[in-house]
Amino acid sequence: MPRTLKPMRRIGRGGAGFMIHILAFYLFAVLTIASGAITILARNPVHSVLWLILAFFNAAGLMVLVGAEFIAMLLVIVYVGAVAVLFLFVVMMLDIDFAELRAGFIKNFPLGILIALVLLAEIVLGVGAYQAGAMQLGTPDGSAATPVGASNIEAIGALLYGRYLFLFEAAGIILLVAMIGAIVLTHRQRTDVRGQDISKQIARRPDEATVNTQPEIGKGVQL
Amino acid sequence: MTAYFQSLGMSHDWAWFVATVCGILLIAVPLLVAVAMTIYADRKIWAAMALRRGPNVVGPWGLLQSFADGLKVFLQETIVPSASNKGLFLIAPIVTFTVALLAWAVIPFNSGAVLADLNVGLLYILAISSLGIYGVVVAGWASNSKYPFFSAMRAAAQMISYEVSIGFILICVVLWAGSFNLNDIILAQRGHIFGLLNGFAFNPLLFPMWVMFLISALAETARAPFDLTEVESELVAGYQTEYSSMAFAAYWLGEYANVLLMCALNAVLFFGGWLPPLDWAPLYWIPGWIWLFAKIGFFFFVFSWVKATVPRYRYDQLMRLGWKVFLPVSLLWVVLVSGYLMLTRYGV
């Protein structure tokens, strides 16, 4: 039986293992918040993205601590490995005018505060509803979600491809439509450039592409 | 190992801690020596294919060449360009080197001989290998120099492109094995074909996936013919142009540690890892780690062979292969494999 990603759980409460668990939680939590704050405060946008990556990474560490190793790995693979790389890719290539950015800060400040307040309210409402026991996580009818196997990959799989199959497929279709939309909007059929036809290139043989001539001296070759 | 340290009179927690540290050292130190020897092997194989002698002066048959190079690099001055972003410039090689070592934590060397037996082992490897990009991209940006920057852009696009198809290829293997745990994946390959051949690569349905994985691994580690991040004819030395001394050595070691990791993944996912190639009792008398190391060595030979013989790709050809050939084919294969398994194993 493979060990899951939570060796501290086995050791149990009270011992040094519990202390490490607590220490790890505060380390990850403080680093997440700190790097989140520096993401906003950093002057250089590339530094901002790198701090954001550190925040993602520490959030993954927190996920490991609560035993959600699948979510932790997905967080690293999807956000750190793909989304943040594209972020970094774009930000590095942008030619950013810092003075203009700072001028925009004052203008957008009220909007930013409003969004922050909305997010805060949502978190408070969510935690409040959870505390009040309105709904157990995982099932809409209030009964506790039943994990199918020992690993949470199997549990998530059973929920996604069983109970929430149609929602999952709907999300997939929305993403597909978004992708096709992005391609249609940016794709241009250009006629003024010389493109390559790979199969034509591969199908070329030496005898049809080259000629062997023996030109007379001083005459040159007709190509 | 925890039990052994407990027998020395330590408490359980301390024994666990000491055992883990010992396990890390047992993997990292031999790995670094192995990396030095593979650099030597790479040069020797390359030389032999070009009818040259290769390194043959330092030590018997030139065996100590890599250690001499390491010492030379260690004694050099570290030059940090004045226009560079100093902190990131120095962090980038550390990231590359650390990430190259991290992934080895989940590779099983024998039955039960694994540092971290995670049940998301393969996802862990995907997550760690996707971090490898940052060492390269940050180096290219922090150098504040034209060619390293081009190289970093190329590296980022290349690694992301091939990671997508590698993901689909791994899904095929995981579907067949029914687990993300590397040890379970190896055990699922035991007697896979006719109850005799150990390895998914002998399965006709998974064989094309192995070929694609091998090619994607070359692209993912930026080895020839896909070494477009360090093409000397276009980009000087690519992202490591501005690096010198130990920072340069960190890239060098990290690159080869990544190549060895990809060879190990080839062995573990498609050729039965520490299982012998045939499910025949006398072959099991040879310890599992010898089989694994022999397979890793064989795949490293294939990597060197390709480097010595195949001409370099053009960048647009590389992108075409990744997005227009490998991605659709591997996606189709996920459907084929899951369809086949639904018909035969699970019953529709």
Answer whether B157 touches A (CB < 8 Å): yes
Contact state of B131 with A76 under an 8 Å Cβ cutoff: yes
In angstroms, the CA B241 to CA B151 distance is 10
Residue identified by tokens 């799989």 is A157
Answer whether A16 touches B (CB < 8 Å): yes
Q: Which of B77, B100, B235, B79 is nearest to B154 (CA)?
A: B235
In angstroms, the CA B243 to CA B250 distance is 10
* A56-68: average pLDDT: 85
CA B72 to chain centroid, in Å, comes to 26
- Chain B residue closest in CA terms to A89: B153
Q: Of A170-184, B189-203, B215-229, which has the strongest mean pLDDT?
A: A170-184
Q: Is the pLDDT of residue A8 over 60?
A: no
In angstroms, the CA B119 to CA B182 distance is 8
A120 pLDDT tier (thresholds 50, 70, 90):
very high
Q: Flag the least confident range among A68-72, A150-154, B148-152.
A: A150-154
Q: Which CATH architecture has domain A8-96?
A: Up-down Bundle (1.20)
Q: Which amino acid is at B339?
A: G
In angstroms, the CA B264 to CA B28 distance is 15
Crossing angle of helices B288-309 and B245-270, in 10° steps, is 120
* B102-124: average pLDDT: 84
**The two three-digit tokens of residue A186, written as one number:** 């940016």
**The two three-digit tokens of residue A113, written as one number:** 């505060």
CA distances from A37 to A48, A51, A52, A55, B119 (A): 10, 9, 9, 9, 34
Answer whether A74 touches B (CB < 8 Å): yes
State what percent of residues in chain A have pLDDT above 90: 17
In angstroms, the CA B46 to CA A156 distance is 48
All residues at 6 or more sequence positions from A74 whose CB lies less than 8 Å from its CB, including other chains:
B123
B344 pLDDT tier (thresholds 50, 70, 90):
confident
The conformational region for residue A199 under phi > 0 = left, psi -120 to 50 = alpha, else beta, is alpha
In angstroms, the CA B299 to CA A157 distance is 34
A169 pLDDT tier (thresholds 50, 70, 90):
very high
State what percent of residues in chain B have pLDDT above 70: 99
Do B289 and B27 contact (CB within 8 A), yes or no?
no
- Name the residue ranges covered by the structural domains of chain A: 8-96, 97-131, 152-188
Helix, strand, coil percent content, chain A, rounded in steps of 5:
70, 0, 30
Is the ipTM higher than 0.90? The answer is: no
Residue positions counted in chain B: 348
- Chain B residue closest in CA terms to A150: B119
SS3 of residue B255 by DSSP: helix
- Residue A177, H or E segment: helix A165-186
**The two three-digit tokens of residue B231, written as one number:** 């093409």
Per-residue pLDDT, A146: 53
Per-residue pLDDT, B60: 87
Answer whether B242 touches A (CB < 8 Å): no
Contact state of A82 with B120 under an 8 Å Cβ cutoff: no
In angstroms, the CA A135 to CA A153 distance is 22
* A19-32: average pLDDT: 86
* A40-66: average pLDDT: 86
All residues at 6 or more sequence positions from B250 whose CB lies less than 8 Å from its CB, including other chains:
B93, B94, B96, B97
Per-residue pLDDT, A96: 66
SS3 of residue B158 by DSSP: helix
Q: Is the pLDDT of residue A12 over 50?
A: no
Chain B CB contacts of A199 below 8 Å: none
Average pLDDT, chain B: 86
- Chain B residue closest in CA terms to A76: B127
Answer whether B292 touches A (CB < 8 Å): no
* B185-202: average pLDDT: 82
Report which of residues A210 and B2 the model is more confident about. A210
In angstroms, the CA B110 to CA B106 distance is 12
Do B330 and B169 contact (CB within 8 A), yes or no?
yes
In angstroms, the CA A95 to CA B318 distance is 28
Shortest CB distance from B156 goes to which of A46, A85, A153? A85
This prediction has a pTM of 0.81
Q: Which of B248, B231, B238, B259 is nearest to B93 (CA)?
A: B248
Contact state of B126 with A7 under an 8 Å Cβ cutoff: no
A6 pLDDT tier (thresholds 50, 70, 90):
very low
CA distances from B105 to A81, B65, B113, B181, B324 (A): 19, 28, 11, 13, 34
Report which of residues B245 and B301 the model is more confident about. B301
Per-residue pLDDT, A117: 94
Per-residue pLDDT, B148: 87
In angstroms, the CA A78 to CA B215 distance is 23
Q: Is the pLDDT of residue B284 over 70?
A: yes
In angstroms, the CA B4 to CA B159 distance is 42
**Best to test chain A binding among B130, B146, B154, B327 (most A CBs inside 10 Å):** B130
Q: Which of B322, B343, B340, B84 is nearest to B217 (CA)?
A: B322
In angstroms, the CA A121 to CA B281 distance is 65
Q: Is the pLDDT of residue B328 over 90?
A: yes
Per-residue pLDDT, A181: 94
Give the residue ranges of DSSP H helices in chain B.
2-7, 12-49, 65-75, 86-102, 121-142, 146-177, 182-188, 207-220, 232-235, 245-270, 288-309, 315-320, 327-341
Chain B CB contacts of A90 below 8 Å: none
Do A85 and B160 contact (CB within 8 A), yes or no?
yes
Chain A CB contacts of B322 below 8 Å: none
Q: Is the pLDDT of residue A5 over 50?
A: no
In angstroms, the CA B229 to CA B154 distance is 6
Answer whether B323 touches A (CB < 8 Å): no
Per-residue pLDDT, A175: 94
